[in-house]
């Protein structure tokens, strides 16, 4: 029976113009609050009551993603796993930007997948969406990696383990071993899939820890040696340096670092590193490489003293004949480069069998020419041309006038000039071998003054020295002179064309020169690279990409070609591929490596910003069309 109060309320509503049957609507937010309190998550014990309240909210607010998410949670608490799926799926559809909804759906599908592995693929899809919204959540990446491995998707698992490892999680996983597990798994998968970059990243991360395990350091050593063998000297040096941090007193590590520095032309660094390695363990080979560094730095008196000490001690291993022979050459060359041919000849006289070493016989021939021992020079030259026709000095001698060696013992002026020119050419080559470009250039000019140039190679040597000295205009002019001697020599055409390209020369002429060189030598990676660069300069980007990819196939270990290919791909608006090529280039060591690393880092930052912008989802709509069928929410 109605109370007096209810009648009074009814009369008041009628007086205000409301129909008598109107009742106040229930507040969905209040109902959500009441339901949450009943859930086990909040300390309640009435999951069924919570589910009924969430259903009321769904009727009142059909577009409520939260109500469906909480209903799914309540159904899970009731043990109705299958019934919880539909509202969880609907919650993600209503609010695709809800990380909480995607994580809940992913965990739910993963739970279902324990009994039905096929459902794990749905769990993976949900975790992938969650990872986009929560890129810094280690648990999401961990679960995703586990699912991918369970599904046998090694590629996906590798990406997920890398994602987890890169987080360096300080909070969610208090145990640092989780990060270590991630990098270990990435290293293993990278190796099994033959993916170099992920494997390298994982091993380097494992060994950047304060106290890496012996096993991890062993992986690093294997990686470093493999990198050195493949010519990835930039990466190899980084690996050996990291190894050196953990083994500071291991001479073999520092010897490897020094060898890479020597190979990449950083002779001052290499000399210091070899001396440090030698302080840890004295060995003849370490002195040998120090001598080579000193020669390359133009410090010939110091090098001579070191070679003298080595031979005085006679400490070369009996089974290392090659090192001893090379040391003989460098010792003799150090004397010749100091302008002491007489001392060099005396030294060679004291080495039995030196005439059977082609390089030493060539030096001896030069010594005879420089001391004006014409008869001995002629005999040594004839002997060398016969026994060592592939040695550079004796090859050059083939271009001399054919009757030269048959002249009488008292040479005519033109004959002596020819021998002097031969010596000067080889001296210029010797100076360039040790990167002493100024001296090399001086000797080339003297060679050209001694007699008319007979070979294009002499012009090429002069042009290269000028280019190395930062004088490209003069280098171009020298190659134009060479054209008169042999206008269709492919290496000349390629070098001249490339110099014109890089120094603001005529693009059409450069194109014609390089195209002619490529037609004559279509499988020369350097020439094909030049052609690709011509096409790039002409704006023919697709054709440039095709040419440069062919150049990469022909010369896979050239950082310059990959650098060029990256430039083209960047111009084609494919920055991810460009960065991949630059990363490949940075595996090597080359003069522009520092500059390219800066460009690559800038591109990495730009790509990261772009990715974050693309992954930022729009705000979910406040109202969606009311669902016509609510049966899916029924437990």
Quick: pLDDT tens for 59-81.
Answer: 889 999 999 999 988 899 898 98
Task: Tell me: pLDDT of 21 over 70.
Answer: no
Q: Is 49 helix (H, G, I), strand (E, B) or coil?
A: helix
For residue 238, give the nearest of 210, 211, 205, 267 by alpha carbon.
Answer: 205
Percent of the chain with pLDDT strictly greater than 70: 89
pLDDT at position 460: 94
Q: What pLDDT shows up at residue 159?
A: 95
Q: Please enumerate in sequence order all residues whose Cβ is within 8 A of that of 181, keeping only pairs 6 or more positions apart, or say none.
A: none
Going by pLDDT thresholds of 50, 70 and 90, the confidence category of residue 616 is low
pLDDT band, very low/low/confident/very high, at 617 (cuts 50, 70, 90): very low
For residue 415, name the pLDDT band (cuts at 50, 70, 90).
confident
Q: Which of 24-28, 74-78, 265-269, 540-544 has the lowest mean pLDDT?
A: 24-28
The most confident of 104-118, 358-372, 440-454, by mean pLDDT: 358-372
**175 pLDDT exceeds 70?**
no
CATH topology of domain 399-405+419-485: 1.25.40
Mean pLDDT of 11-32: 59
DSSP secondary structure string for all residues of 554-597? HSTT-HHHHHHHHHHHHHTT-HHHHHHHHHHHHTS--TTHHHHH
Q: Are 511 and 534 in contact (CB under 8 A)?
A: yes
Q: For residue 338, what pLDDT band results from cuts at 50, 70 and 90?
A: very high
628: confidence class by pLDDT, cuts 50, 70, 90:
very low
Q: Which residue, among 487, 446, 442, has the nearest Cα to 466 in the 3D structure?
A: 442
63 CB-near residues (< 8 Å, 6+ apart):
94, 621, 622, 623, 624, 625, 626
| pLDDT at 405 (0 to 100) | 62
Q: Is 138 exposed, middle or buried (0-12, 13-18, 19+ CB in 10 A)?
A: buried
pLDDT recorded at residue 437: 94
Amino acid 46: pLDDT: 86
- Per-residue confidence (pLDDT) for residue 451, from 0 to 100: 79
Q: What is the mean pLDDT of residues 357-375?
A: 95
pTM as predicted: 0.77
pLDDT-based confidence at residue 177 (cuts at 50, 70, 90): confident
The answer on pLDDT for 503 being more than 60 is: yes
Distance from C-alpha of 95 to C-alpha of 620, rounded to nearest angstrom: 5
Mean pLDDT of 543-559: 93
Question: What long-range pairs does 223-226 form, CB within 8 A, spacing at least 24?
Answer: 223/199, 224/256
Residues 144 and 127: beta-carbon distance below 8 Å: yes
In the predicted model, is pLDDT for residue 250 greater than 50?
yes
pLDDT in the model for residue 622: 37
pLDDT in tens, 186-218: 999 999 999 999 999 999 999 998 889 999 999
Do 305 and 320 form a contact (C-beta atoms < 8 A)? no
Whether the Cβ atoms of residue 378 and residue 415 lie closer than 8 Å to each other? no
Contact 561, 525 (CB under 8 A): yes
Q: Is it the case that residue 368 has pLDDT exceeding 90?
A: yes
CA–CA separation, 122 vs 124, rounded Å?
A: 5
Cα–Cα dist 121/113, whole Å: 8
Residue 404, Ramachandran bin (φ over 0: left; ψ between -120 and 50: alpha; else beta):
alpha
The residue written with tokens 């991890």 in the block is 216
Q: Is 168 a residue whose pLDDT tops 50? A: yes
List, in order, residues 6 or more apart from 271 with CB less than 8 Å away: 290, 293, 294, 297
Nearest C-alpha neighbor of 163 from the set 131, 190, 192, 127: 131
pLDDT per position as a tens digit, 436-472:
999 999 999 999 888 787 789 999 999 999 999 999 9
Position 618 confidence tier, pLDDT thresholds 50, 70, 90: very low
Residue 609 pLDDT > 90, yes or no? Answer: no
- The closest of 344, 422, 335 to 378, measured between CA atoms, is 422
**Domain residue ranges of the chain, discontinuous segments joined by +:** 399-405+419-485
Under 8 Å between Cβ of 257 and 244: yes
| C-alpha pair distances (Å), 12 with each of 3, 4, 20, 23 | 14, 12, 10, 12
176 CA to centre of own chain: 28
Answer yes or no: is pLDDT of 171 > 70: no
Model pLDDT, residue 367: 97
**Using one digit for the tens of pLDDT, what is the confidence trace for 373-405?**
998 998 999 999 999 999 999 998 887 776 666
223-247 average pLDDT score: 93
Distance from C-alpha of 496 to C-alpha of 464, rounded to nearest angstrom: 11
User: How far is the C-alpha of 517 from the C-alpha of 519, rounded, in Å?
Assistant: 6
Q: Measuring CA to CA, how many Å separate 333 from each of 306, 348, 562?
A: 13, 11, 37
Tokens coding 601: 């880092």
Average pLDDT (23-28) is 68
Cα 11 to Cα 4, 15, 24, 26, 269, distances in angstroms: 11, 6, 15, 21, 99
Q: Does the pLDDT value for residue 483 go beyond 90?
A: yes
| Element spanning 419, H or E | helix 413-433
Percent helix, strand, coil in the chain (nearest 5)?
75, 0, 25
- The DSSP secondary-structure symbol of 46 reads -
- Mind listing the pLDDT tens digit for each residue in 299-330? 999 999 999 998 888 777 767 788 888 999 99
Closest CA to 235 of 289, 282, 290, 196: 196
Mean pLDDT score across all residues of the chain: 86
Q: Please answer whether residues 125 and 148 qualify as being in contact, where contact means their C-beta atoms are separated by less than 8 angstroms.
A: no
Cα(477)–Cα(573) distance, integer angstroms: 37
- Banded pLDDT at 556 (limits 50, 70, 90): confident
- List all residues 6 or more positions away from 71 whose beta carbon is below 8 Å from its beta carbon: 51, 54, 55, 58, 84, 87, 633
pLDDT of residue 476 exceeding 90, the answer is yes
Q: Is the pLDDT of residue 593 over 90?
A: no
**Is residue 279 helix, strand or coil?**
helix
Contact 82, 111 (CB under 8 A): no
CB 90 within 8 A of CB 126: no
Is a pLDDT exceeding 60 seen at residue 226? yes
Write 341-349 long-range contacts (CB < 8 A, 24+): 341/366, 341/367, 341/370, 341/371, 342/367, 342/371, 345/371
- How confident is the model at residue 210, as a pLDDT? 85
Judged against a pLDDT cut of 70, whether residue 356 lies above it is answered with yes
Contact 227, 203 (CB under 8 A): no
């Amino acid at each position: 029976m109605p109370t007096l109060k209810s009648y009074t309320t009814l009369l008041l509503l009628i007086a205000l113009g409301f129909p008598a049957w109107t009742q106040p609507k229930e507040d969905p937010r209040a109902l959500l609050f009441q339901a949450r309190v009943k859930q086990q998550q909040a300390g309640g014990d009435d999951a069924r009551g919570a589910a009924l309240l969430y259903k009321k909210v769904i009727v009142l607010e059909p577009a409520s993603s939260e109500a469906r998410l909480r209903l799914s949670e309540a159904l899970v608490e009731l043990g109705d796993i299958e019934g919880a799926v539909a509202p969880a799926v609907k919650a993600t559809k209503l609010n695709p930007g809800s990380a909480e909804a995607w994580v809940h759906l992913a965990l739910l599908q993963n739970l279902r997948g324990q009994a039905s592995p096929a459902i794990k693929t749905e769990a993976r899809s949900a975790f992938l969406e969650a990872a986009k919204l929560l890129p810094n959540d280690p648990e999401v990446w961990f679960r995703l990696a586990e699912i991918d491995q369970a599904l046998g998707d090694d590629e996906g698992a590798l990406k997920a383990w890398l994602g987890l490892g890169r987080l360096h999680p300080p909070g969610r996983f208090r145990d640092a071993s989780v990060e270590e597990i991630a990098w270990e798994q990435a290293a293993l998968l990278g190796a099994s899939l033959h993916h170099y970059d992920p494997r390298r990243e994982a091993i380097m991360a494992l060994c950047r820890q304060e106290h890496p395990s012996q096993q991890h350091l062993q992986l690093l050593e294997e990686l470093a040696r493999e990198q050195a063998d493949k010519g990835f000297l930039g990466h190899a040096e980084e690996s050996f340096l990291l190894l050196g941090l953990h083994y500071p007193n291991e001479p073999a590590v520092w010897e490897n670092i020094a060898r890479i520095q020597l190979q990449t032309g950083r002779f001052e660094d290499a000399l210091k590193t070899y001396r440090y390695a030698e302080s840890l363990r004295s060995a003849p080979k370490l002195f040998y490489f120090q001598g080579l560094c000193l020669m390359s730095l133009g410090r010939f008196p110091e090098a001579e003293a070191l070679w003298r000490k080595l031979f005085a001690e006679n400490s070369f291993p009996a089974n290392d004949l090659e090192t001893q022979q090379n040391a003989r050459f460098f010792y003799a060359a150090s004397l010749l480069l100091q302008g002491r041919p007489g001392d060099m000849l005396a030294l060679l006289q004291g080495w039995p069998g030196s005439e059977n070493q082609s390089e030493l016989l060539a030096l001896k021939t030069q010594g005879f020419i420089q001391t004006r021992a014409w008869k001995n020079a002629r005999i040594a030259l004839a002997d060398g041309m016969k026994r060592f026709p592939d040695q550079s000095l004796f090859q050059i001698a083939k271009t001399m006038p054919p009757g030269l060696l048959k002249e009488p013992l008292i040479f005519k002026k033109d004959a002596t000039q020819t021998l002097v020119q031969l010596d000067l050419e080889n001296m210029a080559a010797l100076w360039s071998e040790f990167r002493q470009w100024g001296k090399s250039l001086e000797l080339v000019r003297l060679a050209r003054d001694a007699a008319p140039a007979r070979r294009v190679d002499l012009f090429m040597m002069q042009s290269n020295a000028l280019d190395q000295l930062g004088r490209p205009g003069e280098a171009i002019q020298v190659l134009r002179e060479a054209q008169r001697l042999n206008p269709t020599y492919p290496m000349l055409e390629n070098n001249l064309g490339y110099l014109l390209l890089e120094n603001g020369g005529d693009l059409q002429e450069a194109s014609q020169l390089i195209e002619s060189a490529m037609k004559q030598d279509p499988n020369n990676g350097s020439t094909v690279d030049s052609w690709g660069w011509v096409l790039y300069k002409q704006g023919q980007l697709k054709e440039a990409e095709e040419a440069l990819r062919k150049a990469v196939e022909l010369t896979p270990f050239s950082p310059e070609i990959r650098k060029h290919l990256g430039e083209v791909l960047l111009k084609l608006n494919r920055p991810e591929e460009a960065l991949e090529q630059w990363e490949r280039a940075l595996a090597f060591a080359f003069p522009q490596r520092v500059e390219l690393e800066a460009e690559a880092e800038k591109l990495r930052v730009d790509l990261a910003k772009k990715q974050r912008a693309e992954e930022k989802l729009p705000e979910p709509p406040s109202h969606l069309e009311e669902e016509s069928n609510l049966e899916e929410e029924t437990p």
